[in-house]
Amino acid sequence: MSQNLFFNILTFDVPSVPITFYFSKKKIGNAQELYKNKFPKNIEELFPGITTENPDFIYTSFIYEKEGYLPFEVVLSEESIDLVKHYYNWRIKNYFKNLKKLVKSNFIEDNQIWLRDVKYNNKTFAQYDKFTLKVQFNEVSDYGELIIAYDGVTKNLKKPISQLVDEVSPALFTGVIHNRKFYKYEKIQDKIDDFSKTHAVFNNKIRAALGYEVENNLKKNKYIDYKAKIEGFINKFLVSKEFKNVVAVNNDDFLPVEKKRVGYVADECNDLVFKNGVGRIPKTDFHKLKPYSSTPHKAIHLFFILHSSFVEEVKKLESYFKNGTGFYKGLQQYAGILYHVEKGFSIVYDDLENPLPQIKQGIKDLDIKPEVTYIAVYLSPFGKHDQNLKNREVYYKVKEQLLLRRIVSQVIDFNRYKKNINSFVFDLTNISLALLAKLEGIPWQLNVSNKKELVIGVGAFKNVIENVQYVASAFSFQNNGKFNGFQYDTKSNTSELAGAISDAIYKFVNIEQNPDKVVVHFYKEMSDKELAPIVEMMDSLNIGCPLFIVTINKTRSKDIIAFDEDWHNRLMPKSGTFINISKKEHKYLLFNNSRYSNEPTFPSSESYPFPIKLKITSPTPKALEDTQMIKKLIEQVYQFSRLYWKSLRQQNVPITIKYPEMVAEIAPNFDNKEIPPYGKEILWFL
């Protein structure tokens, strides 16, 4: 398929002629601090003996002459990337500050420019468009590269925090704006003394406290808006003579993606095996071709957990499960689940404000028959995204109580259900799919031959309320996507993940003896500390197969992406396209969506996800020299994204990352902070 691909990158020339910088061994006045990895190569000529002294820092005013600072010529094209990147980030920051723009720098010194949207007319909020400028060198071209990314909008409250504290606690403030500068709130006390001119950046905590509704993100092609915003920013700021004096941009157009950088997963990677054939689109094929494997449980009882005022709505829901509605013909026909509703078994609670005590007692009192598998359908008065934390926790704790009694559950937001009670058909299809998976059925399977491969996924979810990153570890799968099980740790770091990963490998080797390879999908770059025990364990077991680590990151808007100019002005590259984005490492963009052809039509219900980023490494000598293996690893990531069984909609993140993330979001809210053993064998969290 023909694609005309472009990066969101402008290239620039790095000077090869000497430039005079100014340096000092001591900080005198305002200056840039340079760590020793950024010292100029010939710094010994300026400061004799400094190599022996080995200081951590020196200081520079870069191109500006400054009292107490010594001049020294540097050739940027010959210096370390760390020094050159620091210099350009500093120049870019000063350029936009001189234009009186708000500039916020992240921890790696990339500059984010906030532009006030003067067309946004609102009495409560001011709105900003955010753009990140990321500097890199010789990654996808032979030049300096400036990635221009659009990071969406942010708002700040027009009411100053001196007045806002009358309505909300300052404990909810994260960032504030004062005189066109961004500050972290906890660091403003020594820098700001006039809170009447300081404004809080709007966040979810403030939103909840003030009672604002969460804005509905409509499904739209964000590639179009993203590209238009970037082009507007480039035309206004980056192609001017003034900016080119700062960064010598050598081409005003986006950088074309070289064809040699572009690859495609094999077409059969889109194939999914159902009971009655091979399909590609679960939304239609799951119903037409039937589930690959039905639930192994033969005596299934379904019951409801509901408030006493929900009776009529539950009767209609029960009718939907039994008789269907529209094209949905019921739980039995749609998902192959043969079930019985036991009369008088359901749990009815009366306290709408505090339902948990009655529900917990009701679950405790259930007369469970060991030969029966139970499904609880809980009509929750609170959604799992409820603004009230106490209400939201009920959702989690009901799931925990049911798991303790080996009962899988399906939670339905009652308010959403009631609002859409006569048009609930698409929710019913997703619910039926998830229930089949929770009951250990297999909705569909990858169209691959079984191999002795182990795939382990590690994902994480950050609890914003507690500001802790919980990690769900060691989700274990076979190469065809069959789920083996998982382990979970309530950790705010990943230093002990190696034990869980090693355990998964050990269990697999006990059965398969000599695996062909072990692949770990990791949500961040794995440190040497995390990797070393895994390698040591494999060596101790004499496992001679290669170990691959695939780092998988959801691409944030503030990063490199690509556009396809040939797809009828829709811009999103074809699903299965992958692009090499580094000359030095195995780094790739992988486009994973529902666009399978060059046809102009595209379902309005489908989304336009940005690509995911992959980095492939291996401690096994020469393992990365096998280019076919690298492609197979990329294809495996692509295929595992097609095994998501919570929804019929195509996902762009593989379940090896997504499933652990889902568990890590839920489990920390359990009373015991642990998952009952039964919960580690099934996909209860879907």
**In terms of domains, do 347 and 433 share one?**
yes
**In terms of domains, do 215 and 299 share one?**
no
**In terms of domains, do 476 and 543 share one?**
yes
Q: 542 or 294, which is more confident?
A: 294
Q: Where residue 412 sits, what CATH number does that domain have?
A: 3.40.50.2300
Determine, yes or no, domain membership for 566: no
pLDDT value of position 489: 64
Q: 233 or 525, which is more confident?
A: 233
Determine, yes or no, domain membership for 601: no
**In terms of domains, do 354 and 485 share one?**
no
Give pLDDT tens digits for 85-98: 999 999 999 999 99
**In terms of domains, do 424 and 466 share one?**
no
Least-confidence region, from 17-21, 22-26, 520-524: 520-524
Determine, yes or no, domain membership for 585: no
pLDDT value of position 350: 94
pLDDT value of position 387: 64
Judge whether 94 and 61 are in contact, CB under 8 Å. Answer: no
**In terms of domains, do 424 and 476 share one?**
no
18, 34, 32, 66: CA torsion to nearest 10: -50
Least-confidence region, from 336-340, 355-359, 480-484, 555-559: 555-559
Mean pLDDT, range 193-198, rounded to an integer? 86
Distance between CA atoms of residues 328 and 424, nearest Å = 10
pLDDT value of position 464: 58
**In terms of domains, do 319 and 398 share one?**
yes
**In terms of domains, do 193 and 300 share one?**
no
**In terms of domains, do 544 and 669 share one?**
yes
Examine the fold and report which residue of 212, 231, 258 is the final residue of a domain before the chain moves on: 258
Give pLDDT tens digits for 216-232: 666 689 899 999 999 99
Q: 372 or 513, which is more confident?
A: 372
- State both tokens at 370: 């060991």
pLDDT value of position 466: 57
Q: 442 or 470, which is more confident?
A: 442
Determine, yes or no, domain membership for 500: yes
For residue 74, which of 18, 10, 131 has the smallest C-alpha distance? 18
User: How does residue 105 score in pLDDT terms, banded at 50, 70 and 90?
Assistant: confident
- State both tokens at 318: 């029960």
Q: Which amino acid is it at 55?
A: P
Examine the fold and report which residue of 208, 241, 258 is the final residue of a domain before the chain moves on: 258
Determine, yes or no, domain membership for 267: no
pLDDT value of position 496: 64
The pLDDT of residue 354 is above 80: yes
Determine, yes or no, domain membership for 576: no
Give all strands of the β-sheet with 445-446 in edge-to-edge order. 277-279, 272-274, 445-446
Mean pLDDT, range 141-167, rounded to an integer? 94
Domain that holds residue 358: 294-438
**In terms of domains, do 168 and 234 share one?**
yes
pLDDT value of position 472: 60
> pTM for the whole thing?
0.91
Mean pLDDT, range 342-348, rounded to an integer? 92
- State both tokens at 8: 């969101």
Which of 115-119, 202-206, 447-451 has the largest mean confidence?
115-119
What's the burial of 174, exposed, middle or buried (CB within 10 Å: 0-12/13-18/19+)? middle
Give pLDDT tens digits for 378-420: 999 987 666 677 787 888 899 999 999 999 999 999 998 999 9
Counted domains in the chain:
3
Average model confidence (pLDDT) across the chain: 90
pLDDT value of position 558: 63
Examine the fold and report which residue of 214, 240, 258 is the final residue of a domain before the chain moves on: 258
For residue 47, which of 65, 17, 69 has the smallest C-alpha distance? 69
**In terms of domains, do 98 and 169 share one?**
yes
pLDDT value of position 527: 82
pLDDT value of position 366: 94
Determine, yes or no, domain membership for 286: no
What's the burial of 48, exposed, middle or buried (CB within 10 Å: 0-12/13-18/19+)? exposed
DSSP-derived 3-state class of residue 127: strand
